[in-house]
Chain A
Amino acid sequence: KQEVTQIPAALSVPEGENLVLNCSFTDSAIYNLQWFRQDPGKGLTSLLLIQSSQREQTSGRLNASLDKSSGRSTLYIAASQPGDSATYLCAVSPTQTSGSRLTFGEGTQLTVNP
């Protein structure tokens, strides 16, 4: 059974700092990995999706990497801003053909202080 773990559970940084969020998964047979942002009481906003054949994806100040063989992904946020404060979730999909049954981690709650 796939298990997804995110470290740290919470992180507080001053504005402008670069930071890394970690995600690990137990079963390397994944189709893709997706990073989401969740604001309190809100839905999930897709940030980046990495296919299993890819090593990284970039969008603006965000960069996500994937090392499938070791079961790890990182989300790098450059020059953090108070507006980045949210919970960041990673989720893995086992296969394309069955639909994307995502397995989620518990998330990292990020606070960026002005």
Chain B
Amino acid sequence: EPEVTQTPSHQVTQMGQEVILRCVPISNHLYFYWYRQILGQKVEFLVSFYNNEISEKSEIFDDQFSVERPDGSNFTLKIRSTKLEDSAMYFCASSSRRSDTGELFFGEGSRLTVL
């Protein structure tokens, strides 16, 4: 069964460093998303991406964050200068517009630890 894959599974970084989290969405999907989950808290929406541009972003997604689809398969989330409070599990998700159900399929997540 097709799945969303994310790398790395765990990354430890120093505060102020840049981090790039990578995702390979399901191949025929058209909408891509990043969500995050701080330990013990709700899963929160960060950004949605369609047709090579951001379609919606939350108040969390400030200038420190950016997303890119550099080629036909990868979808990346970059955090320019990490802060302690960026420590969280980051989930990539994708959905197929053609299915018209809007069902989201999530990856296993990338755990980011900022020291």
CA distance A105 to B102 in the complex (A): 18
Contact A43 B56 (CB under 8 A): no
The contact of B101 among A32, A44, A98, by CB within 8 Å, is: A32
Check B109 for interface membership: any CB of A closer than 8 A.
yes
Q: How far is the CB of A35 from chain B (nearest CB, A)?
A: 11
CA distance A87 to B95 in the complex (A): 22
Closest partner residue, chain B, to A99 (CB atom): B48
Do most interface residues of chain B lie in helix, strand or loop, or is the interface mixed?
A: strand
Check A63 for interface membership: any CB of B closer than 8 A.
no
> Within B10-56, which residues are at the interface with A (CB < 8 Å)?
31, 33, 35, 41-45, 48, 50, 55-56
- The chain B residues found within 8 Å of chain A, CB to CB, are 31, 33, 35, 41-45, 48, 50, 55-56, 58, 91, 93, 95, 100-109, 111
* Beyond known contacts A43-B91, A44-B106, A107-B42: 10 more, CB 8 A cutoff: A32-B103, A34-B104, A36-B106, A46-B103, A49-B103, A91-B43, A96-B102, A101-B48, A101-B58, A105-B42
